Amino acid sequence: MIERTFVMLKPDAIQRGLTGEIMGRLEARGFKPVAMKFMRIPRELAERHYAEHKGKSFFPSLVEYVTSGPVLCMIWEGENIIMALRGMMGKTNPQDAAPGTIRGDLAQQTGRNLIHGSDSPESARREISLFFNDYELHEHKMSIEPWLFE
Protein backbone atom coordinates (compact mmCIF):
# COMPACT_ATOMS: atom_id res chain seq x y z
CA MET A 1 0.00 0.00 0.00
CA ILE A 2 1.37 3.40 -0.98
CA GLU A 3 1.27 5.79 1.98
CA ARG A 4 2.82 9.03 3.17
CA THR A 5 4.77 9.82 6.30
CA PHE A 6 6.19 12.84 8.06
CA VAL A 7 9.96 12.95 8.51
CA MET A 8 11.94 15.54 10.41
CA LEU A 9 15.70 15.82 10.31
CA LYS A 10 16.44 17.31 13.71
CA PRO A 11 18.90 20.11 14.53
CA ASP A 12 21.80 17.71 15.12
CA ALA A 13 21.37 16.19 11.64
CA ILE A 14 21.45 19.69 10.14
CA GLN A 15 24.45 20.84 12.18
CA ARG A 16 26.41 17.67 11.42
CA GLY A 17 25.76 17.93 7.67
CA LEU A 18 23.91 14.61 7.46
CA THR A 19 20.85 15.70 5.47
CA GLY A 20 22.21 14.38 2.16
CA GLU A 21 23.28 11.07 3.70
CA ILE A 22 19.89 10.49 5.32
CA MET A 23 17.81 11.63 2.34
CA GLY A 24 20.02 9.52 0.07
CA ARG A 25 19.10 6.43 2.08
CA LEU A 26 15.40 7.18 1.61
CA GLU A 27 15.83 7.76 -2.12
CA ALA A 28 17.96 4.62 -2.51
CA ARG A 29 15.14 2.64 -0.89
CA GLY A 30 12.81 3.92 -3.62
CA PHE A 31 10.84 6.40 -1.56
CA LYS A 32 9.68 9.66 -3.10
CA PRO A 33 9.80 13.15 -1.56
CA VAL A 34 6.46 14.97 -1.74
CA ALA A 35 7.26 18.11 0.28
CA MET A 36 10.19 19.69 2.13
CA LYS A 37 10.51 22.71 4.37
CA PHE A 38 13.62 24.03 6.09
CA MET A 39 12.50 25.89 9.21
CA ARG A 40 13.05 26.81 12.82
CA ILE A 41 10.15 25.31 14.78
CA PRO A 42 8.37 27.71 17.13
CA ARG A 43 8.05 26.42 20.72
CA GLU A 44 4.24 26.21 20.52
CA LEU A 45 4.40 24.03 17.40
CA ALA A 46 7.05 21.79 18.96
CA GLU A 47 4.85 21.32 22.02
CA ARG A 48 1.87 20.37 19.81
CA HIS A 49 4.02 18.03 17.75
CA TYR A 50 5.29 16.18 20.83
CA ALA A 51 2.01 16.52 22.80
CA GLU A 52 1.87 12.80 23.63
CA HIS A 53 5.03 13.25 25.71
CA LYS A 54 3.75 16.22 27.71
CA GLY A 55 4.21 15.57 31.42
CA LYS A 56 7.11 13.15 30.91
CA SER A 57 10.46 14.07 32.43
CA PHE A 58 12.18 14.46 29.04
CA PHE A 59 9.49 16.70 27.47
CA PRO A 60 11.12 20.08 28.32
CA SER A 61 14.53 19.02 27.02
CA LEU A 62 12.97 17.51 23.88
CA VAL A 63 11.17 20.77 23.08
CA GLU A 64 14.33 22.77 23.83
CA TYR A 65 16.38 20.53 21.55
CA VAL A 66 14.02 20.54 18.56
CA THR A 67 13.65 24.33 18.72
CA SER A 68 17.40 24.95 19.18
CA GLY A 69 18.18 25.22 15.47
CA PRO A 70 16.76 24.65 12.02
CA VAL A 71 15.17 21.35 11.04
CA LEU A 72 14.21 19.87 7.70
CA CYS A 73 10.55 18.82 7.67
CA MET A 74 9.52 16.49 4.88
CA ILE A 75 6.77 14.29 3.57
CA TRP A 76 7.86 11.09 1.88
CA GLU A 77 5.75 8.59 -0.04
CA GLY A 78 6.21 4.90 -0.68
CA GLU A 79 4.94 1.40 -0.25
CA ASN A 80 4.41 0.74 3.48
CA ILE A 81 6.77 3.64 4.13
CA ILE A 82 5.72 4.23 7.73
CA MET A 83 6.90 0.86 9.01
CA ALA A 84 9.78 0.67 6.54
CA LEU A 85 11.09 4.05 7.65
CA ARG A 86 10.76 3.11 11.33
CA GLY A 87 13.01 0.14 10.59
CA MET A 88 15.47 2.29 8.64
CA MET A 89 15.68 4.82 11.50
CA GLY A 90 16.50 2.23 14.15
CA LYS A 91 15.60 2.29 17.82
CA THR A 92 15.21 5.63 19.59
CA ASN A 93 18.32 4.99 21.66
CA PRO A 94 21.18 4.78 19.15
CA GLN A 95 23.06 2.45 21.50
CA ASP A 96 20.28 -0.10 20.92
CA ALA A 97 19.87 0.61 17.19
CA ALA A 98 21.12 -2.03 14.78
CA PRO A 99 24.08 -1.36 12.49
CA GLY A 100 22.82 -0.30 9.08
CA THR A 101 20.08 1.90 10.54
CA ILE A 102 20.32 5.67 10.47
CA ARG A 103 20.60 5.95 14.24
CA GLY A 104 22.76 2.84 14.56
CA ASP A 105 25.28 4.19 12.05
CA LEU A 106 25.17 7.93 12.68
CA ALA A 107 23.76 8.86 16.11
CA GLN A 108 25.32 8.76 19.58
CA GLN A 109 22.63 9.47 22.19
CA THR A 110 18.85 9.29 22.59
CA GLY A 111 18.72 13.05 23.07
CA ARG A 112 20.55 13.58 19.78
CA ASN A 113 19.11 10.90 17.52
CA LEU A 114 18.95 12.83 14.22
CA ILE A 115 15.53 11.92 12.84
CA HIS A 116 11.83 11.72 13.61
CA GLY A 117 9.39 9.64 11.61
CA SER A 118 5.67 9.10 12.14
CA ASP A 119 4.83 5.86 13.95
CA SER A 120 1.38 5.20 12.46
CA PRO A 121 -0.90 6.38 9.64
CA GLU A 122 -2.86 8.45 12.18
CA SER A 123 0.23 10.21 13.53
CA ALA A 124 1.47 10.74 9.95
CA ARG A 125 -1.75 12.55 9.05
CA ARG A 126 -1.64 14.62 12.25
CA GLU A 127 2.03 15.56 11.87
CA ILE A 128 1.72 16.36 8.17
CA SER A 129 -1.19 18.69 8.92
CA LEU A 130 0.83 20.45 11.65
CA PHE A 131 3.70 21.30 9.32
CA PHE A 132 2.28 21.47 5.78
CA ASN A 133 -0.66 22.96 3.87
CA ASP A 134 -2.20 21.09 0.94
CA TYR A 135 -0.66 23.49 -1.58
CA GLU A 136 2.85 22.60 -0.35
CA LEU A 137 2.49 18.93 -1.37
CA HIS A 138 3.70 18.06 -4.84
CA GLU A 139 2.18 15.12 -6.70
CA HIS A 140 4.54 13.71 -9.28
CA LYS A 141 5.49 10.46 -10.94
CA MET A 142 9.09 9.34 -10.98
CA SER A 143 10.48 7.67 -14.08
CA ILE A 144 11.93 4.83 -11.99
CA GLU A 145 8.55 3.73 -10.59
CA PRO A 146 8.15 0.84 -13.08
CA TRP A 147 11.47 -0.50 -11.76
CA LEU A 148 10.23 -0.34 -8.16
CA PHE A 149 6.67 -1.61 -8.38
CA GLU A 150 4.97 -4.43 -10.28
Residue 15, beta-bridge partner list: none
- Say if CB 38 and CB 72 are below 8 A apart: yes
The bridge status of strand 115-117 relative to strand 32-39 is: unpaired
Helix (H) or strand (E) holding 4: strand 2-9
One of 49, 53, 116, 138 is an active-site residue; which one? 116
Residue 2, beta-bridge partner list: 79
Active site residue 116: yes
Positions annotated as catalytic residues are 116
